């Protein structure tokens, strides 16, 4: 069969071979492997080849007629087009800024852009000096840069057992040993981390203290302090991922303020303005800046100045704050909807977080829930891509609250999931 070809309706096969309502295991497996795509009302089709797909496998998963709850992206808003036009006009009307933006940049990043960013971060209660920042092409690049520059192939890094897949990909690409640390409702367990550090040399601990992606756990102050003590005792670097921006009033004290001498902090505008700008920064202790800058120079010489100029114009004009105020009010409304609709089920989420983690009730399996949700027009991600190493995948799914432009559409998606949970999995067990 070729990409786009339609498979025979499962119903026909079921009528011919087995029980009515039977869900064919071959169809389920093909969909799980990404070979086919099921859409409500239009059946199952063969997907395009890898070469036709966008690079992030999950970016192509939601069909046009599906409610996408799979991506952690900023909430759509047409005001961005106006704001971008304003930024570009501002840059084009200032010859010196235009000249600087188009020139080669120093590897640490354009000095005035670092100053604007440091000022903005400090104003938003993330106090930093321009000299501590290295401009990067977004958060993923900052993650890669830190690990490439500071950890050697074969050395060990640790993170929560379920973590951001981009970190898993970096560790794999760089040939690092990536070890999972067990967690509770506050994230990484200090005792488990201590044991791991006693067993072997760990170079770096990756953390998302505000709400872990995907499991949503928030680290208390006491938990952060316990982790800092372990990091000091065993000489660990701490790589704190702040890409999932949380408004200052809802944020704890970042690790880089508790242990500035060993902590790196990742900032990005991807969840604030848009991910396509590819603009972020890595805050690092001053003794590490030369190594990080040298690694960035080897990778790409420097980050494009024009993207930085746009992002800095967006931040300094106050337009980013308008987006932040609007977006986080909407996010908290959607989190409240999710909490209410799924109140009978076990969920973990930050009240201002981009996603929630739903632990599926027995006897649901995550792959079946994702496939059944897709059939009902809702796209989700199961736990597998978040598992470090061979850590077993829990029967849970990540629900992102931001992709739908319309809150009513989001609510419909959540209601469909609530109905699905209430109905339970199809009773027809595969016959062997």
Ligand X SMILES: Cc1ncc(COP(=O)(O)O)c(C=O)c1O
Residue closer to ligand X by CB (options 174, 420) is 174
Per CB under 6 A, 148 contacts ligand X: no
End-to-end CA distance of the chain: 26
Q: Judge contact between 224 and 188, C-beta under 8 A.
A: no
Q: Are 308 and 101 in contact (CB under 8 A)?
A: yes
**Stretch of 28-36, 133-141, 307-315, 344-352 contacting ligand X, by CB under 6 A:** 133-141
Cα separation, 194 vs 257, whole angstroms: 22
Enter the tokens of residue 165: 């897949």
- The residue within the footprint of ligand X, chosen from 280, 308, 353, 413 (CB under 6 A), is 280
Residues 374 and 38: beta-carbon distance below 8 Å: yes
- Give the residue, chosen from 157, 161, 176, 243, that forms a contact with ligand X under the rule CB under 6 A: 243
Q: Please tell me the distance from the alpha carbon of residue 151 to that of residue 266, in angstroms, as a whole number.
A: 17
| Binding flag, residue 308, ligand X (CB under 6 A) | no
Is residue 214 within the footprint of ligand X (CB under 6 A)? no
CB of 136 to ligand X, least distance (A): 8
| Residue 278: CB minimum distance to ligand X, A | 7
CB burial of residue 430 (10 Å; 0-12, 13-18, 19+): exposed
Asked if 402 interacts with ligand X (CB under 6 A), we say no
When asked if residue 379 is in the footprint of ligand X (CB under 6 A), the reply is: no
Contact region with ligand X (CB under 6 A), list: 6-14, 132-140, 222-230, 372-380:
132-140
What is the x/- site pattern for ligand X, positions 37-76, by CB under 6 A?
A: -----------------------------------x----
Shortest reach from residue 365's CB to ligand X, in Å: 25
**What would the two tokens of residue 421 be?**
């949970």
State which of positions 149-168 bind ligand X (CB under 6 A): 164, 166
**Whole-angstrom Cα distance, residue 37 to residue 65?**
12
CA torsion through residues 338, 344, 350, 351, sign = positive
Candidate residues 101, 270, 327, 335; the one interacting with ligand X per rule CB under 6 A: 270
**Could you identify the residue written with the tokens 């027995």?**
362
Cβ contacts of residue 342 below 8 Å, gap of 6+?
Answer: 356, 358, 414, 417, 418, 421
Which of 134, 170, 208, 414 is close enough to bind ligand X by CB under 6 A?
208
- Token couple for 170: 């970096």
212 near ligand X (CB under 6 A): no
Binding site residues, ligand X, CB under 6 A = 72, 138-140, 164, 166, 208, 213, 241, 243-244, 268, 270, 275, 280
């Amino acid at each position: 069969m070729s990409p786009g070809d339609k498979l025979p309706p499962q119903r026909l096969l079921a009528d011919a071979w087995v029980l009515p309502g039977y869900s064919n295991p071959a169809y389920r497996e093909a969909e799980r492997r990404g070979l086919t795509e099921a859409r409500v009302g239009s059946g199952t089709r063969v997907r395009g080849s890898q070469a036709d797909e966008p690079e992030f496998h999950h970016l192509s998963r939601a069909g046009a007629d599906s409610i996408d709850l799979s991506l952690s992206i900023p909430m759509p808003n047409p005001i961005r087009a106006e704001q971008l036009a304003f930024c570009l006009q501002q840059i084009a009307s200032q010859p010196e800024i235009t000249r600087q933006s188009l020139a080669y940049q120093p590897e640490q990043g354009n000095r005035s852009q670092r100053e604007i960013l440091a000022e903005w971060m400090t104003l938003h209660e993330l106090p930093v000096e321009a000299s501590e920042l290295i401009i990067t092409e977004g958060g993923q690049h900052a993650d890669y840069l830190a690990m490439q520059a500071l950890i050697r192939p074969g050395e060990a890094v640790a993170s929560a057992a379920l973590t951001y897949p981009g970190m898993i990909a970096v560790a794999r690409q760089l040939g690092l040993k990536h070890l999972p640390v067990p967690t509770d409702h506050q994230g990484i367990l200090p005792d488990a981390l201590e044991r791991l550090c006693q067993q072997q040399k760990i170079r770096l601990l990756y953390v998302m203290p505000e709400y872990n992606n995907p499991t949503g756990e928030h680290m208390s102050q006491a938990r952060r302090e316990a982790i800092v003590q372990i990091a000091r005792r065993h000489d660990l670097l701490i790589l704190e991922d702040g890409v999932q921006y949380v408004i200052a009033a809802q944020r704890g004290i970042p690790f880089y303020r508790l242990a500035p001498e060993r902590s790196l902090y990742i900032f990005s505008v991807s969840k604030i303005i848009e991910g396509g700008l590819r603009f972020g920064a890595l805050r690092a202790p001053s003794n590490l800046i030369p190594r990080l800058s040298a690694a960035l120079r080897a990778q790409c010489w420097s980050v494009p100045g024009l993207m930085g100029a746009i992002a800095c114009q967006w931040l300094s004009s106050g337009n980013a704050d308008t987006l932040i105020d609007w977006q986080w009010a909407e996010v908290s409304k959607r989190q409240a909807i999710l909490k209410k609709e799924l109140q009978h089920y076990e969920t973990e989420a930050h009240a201002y977080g981009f996603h929630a983690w739903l632990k599926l009730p027995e006897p649901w399996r995550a792959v079946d829930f994702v496939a059944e949700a897709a059939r009902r027009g809702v796209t989700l991600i199961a736990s597998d891509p978040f598992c470090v190493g061979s850590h077993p995948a829990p029967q849970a799914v990540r629900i992102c609250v931001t992709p739908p432009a319309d809150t009513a559409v989001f609510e419909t998606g959540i209601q469909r999931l609530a109905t699905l949970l209430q109905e339970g999995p199809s009773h027809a067990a595969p016959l062997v």
